């Protein structure tokens, strides 16, 4: 029996040893050998740790488990406020056209007039030349021609005007083909009324005058030959004269009239409205003669009396003088 007991004991020991299984390695998706339980994970020697790489490190995570970067802010930064002075539009302090009676006699240079003058210099305009566009009240015998003679006189306080006379000396006695007895605002646009000896067959009086004289300035005085109920056409054609002058580098100087044959001063208001809207100088000749008997008019209330011609001429010369000095063609006017 003893040998049999011994053999039975050996058999039981072998059976117990066979039930203790060696842990089996399980391949992971990343190709790293993983173990079912951390307690059964083999410890790596220092050499093995150096050769295993980052993916074998216990702190390394698969790519799909990497922590996300912090979210990018979608807040739009506030728009920077421009640094610099705040620009305020210059208020328009001009009197409206209906207040034309209160407009000054002698105008100042306007912005658009300066632009026209500068254009004229590129086109060859002569700064020593002015011309006239008008009717019988614009011919040299009654408008500015006196300063082409020796019959004018200046007081001690107005001797500065002698500079302007010398500046425009060639212009005072020259006849304009755009200023004739009987001309109206539409006349200067008719080739049939051009001087055939001076103008080309297709030229209008206005085109011809600008070509012949190349003026830098032009007085525009119309209205004596007004036709009843023609106020709208008057304003239309007068505006065309101003536009044509500006486009050809000529500074237009609109002139109010002393008479009121239309009975409601509609023409003077039209003249003021064009000066206002086109931003061009207006010489207020009406105001220049108001201090005279019957406001400077003869018994028919149409034509000027001799003293009114003198007042109108003198103020027109002052207007030319003011424009020359505003353009720095002459030195500033001396203090009185």
| Confidence (pLDDT) at 86 | 63
| Confidence (pLDDT) at 225 | 72
**Computed from CA positions of residues 132, 138, 139, 144, in that sequence, does the dihedral angle turn out positive or negative?**
negative
Using one digit for the tens of pLDDT, what is the confidence trace for 191-227?
A: 999 999 999 989 999 999 999 999 999 999 998 877 7
pLDDT at 73 over 60: no
Specify the 3-state DSSP secondary structure of 27.
strand
Please give the angle made by the CA atoms of 225, 273 and 295, to the nearest 5 degrees. Answer: 55
Return the biggest CA–CA distance within the chain.
177
Specify the 3-state DSSP secondary structure of 129.
strand
| Confidence (pLDDT) at 84 | 56
| Percent of the chain predicted with pLDDT > 90 | 66
CB 103 within 8 A of CB 191: no
Domains of the chain: 105-326 (3.40.50.1110)
Specify the 3-state DSSP secondary structure of 304.
strand
Using one digit for the tens of pLDDT, what is the confidence trace for 305-328?
A: 999 999 999 999 999 999 999 999
The Cα 220–Cα 222 span in angstroms is: 6
Using one digit for the tens of pLDDT, what is the confidence trace for 144-160?
A: 999 999 999 999 999 99
* Dihedral pair phi/psi, residue 177, rounded to 5°: -75, -5
CB 208 within 8 A of CB 200: yes
pTM: 0.73
Torsion of CA 127, 128, 133, 139, to 10 degrees: 170
């Amino acid at each position: 029996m003893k040998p049999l007991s011994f053999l039975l004991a050996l058999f039981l020991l072998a059976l117990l040893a066979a039930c203790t299984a060696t842990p089996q390695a399980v391949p992971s998706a990343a190709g790293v050998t993983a173990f079912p339980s951390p307690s059964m994970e083999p410890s790596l020697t220092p050499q093995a740790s150096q050769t295993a790489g980052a993916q074998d490190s216990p702190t390394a995570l698969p790519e799909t488990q990497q922590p996300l970067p912090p979210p990018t802010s979608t807040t739009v930064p506030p728009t920077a406020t421009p640094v610099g002075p705040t620009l305020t539009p210059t208020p328009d302090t001009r009197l409206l056209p209906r207040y034309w009676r209160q407009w000054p006699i002698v105008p100042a240079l306007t912005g658009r007039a300066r632009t026209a003058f500068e254009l004229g210099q590129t086109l060859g305009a002569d700064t020593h030349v002015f011309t006239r566009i008008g009717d019988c009240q614009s011919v040299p015998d009654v408008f500015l021609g006196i300063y082409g003679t020796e019959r004018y006189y200046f007081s001690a306080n107005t001797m500065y005007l002698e500079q302007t006379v010398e500046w425009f000396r060639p212009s005072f006695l020259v006849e304009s083909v755009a200023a004739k007895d009987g001309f109206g605002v539409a006349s200067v646009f008719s080739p049939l009324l051009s001087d055939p000896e001076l103008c080309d067959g297709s030229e209008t009086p206005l085109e011809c005058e600008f070509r012949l004289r190349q003026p830098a300035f032009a007085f525009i005085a119309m209205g004596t030959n007004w036709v009843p109920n023609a106020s709208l056409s008057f304003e239309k054609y007068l505006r065309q004269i101003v536009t044509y002058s500006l486009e050809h580098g000529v500074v237009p100087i609109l002139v109010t009239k002393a008479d009121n044959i239309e009975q409601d001063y509609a023409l003077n208001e039209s003249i003021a409205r064009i000066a206002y809207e086109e931003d061009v100088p207006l010489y207020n000749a009406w105001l220049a003669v108001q201090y005279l008997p019957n406001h400077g008019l003869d018994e028919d209330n149409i034509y000027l009396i001799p003293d009114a011609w003198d007042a109108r001429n003198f103020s027109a010369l002052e207007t030319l003088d003011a424009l020359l000095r505003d353009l720095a063609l002459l030195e500033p006017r001396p203090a009185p």
